[in-house]
Amino acid sequence: MIIAIGQMSDLSFVDDGGPRLDERGLLVFDADRQATTSPDVFASGEVVTGPGAAVNAIASGKRAAVAIARYLGVAAAELPDPDPIGELPKRLREGYVKPAPRRRMPARDSKERIEDFQEVELGFAEVDARCEASRCLLCGSGARYSQLKCVSCLTCVRVCPYGAPWADKDGLGGIDPAACQACGICYTQCPAKAIDLEVRSEEQVLAEIEEKLAGGGELEIGCWYPQSRVAPDAAAVLLPCTARVSVLMLLRALEAGAEKVYVAVCSDDDDGHFKHGHRQTQAAVAEARAALEDIEMDPDAIELVVVGEKKCLQGKGAPEK
153 lies in the binding site for ligand SF4 (CB under 6 A)? yes
77 CB-contact burial (10 Å; exposed 0-12 / middle 13-18 / buried 19+): exposed
The alpha-helical segments, DSSP class H, found in 50-194 are: 54-71, 90-93, 110-113, 126-133, 155-159, 185-189
Q: Which of 35, 67, 190, 205 binds ligand SF4 (CB under 6 A)?
A: 190
Q: What is the C-alpha separation between 147 and 267, in angstroms, rounded? A: 36
**Shortest separation between residue 161's beta carbon and ligand SF4, angstroms:** 6
Stretch touching ligand SF4 by CB under 6 A, among 50-58, 73-81, 160-168, 209-217: 160-168
**Shortest separation between residue 309's beta carbon and ligand SF4, angstroms:** 24
Query: Binding pattern to ligand SF4, positions 100-139, x when CB under 6 A?
Result: ----------------------------------------
Judge whether 13 and 20 are in contact, CB under 8 Å: no
Q: What is the C-alpha separation between 126 and 58, in angstroms, rounded? A: 26
Nearer to ligand SF4, 42 or 162 (CB): 162
The alpha-helical segments, DSSP class H, found in the chain are: 46-49, 54-71, 90-93, 110-113, 126-133, 155-159, 185-189, 202-212, 247-255, 277-294
186 lies in the binding site for ligand SF4 (CB under 6 A)? yes
183 lies in the binding site for ligand SF4 (CB under 6 A)? yes
**Shortest separation between residue 280's beta carbon and ligand SF4, angstroms:** 9
Task: Single out the residue of 126, 201, 189, 120 nearest to residue 157, CA to CA.
Answer: 189
Q: Which of 27, 43, 134, 165 binds ligand SF4 (CB under 6 A)?
A: 165
Nearer to ligand SF4, 37 or 147 (CB): 147
242 lies in the binding site for ligand SF4 (CB under 6 A)? no
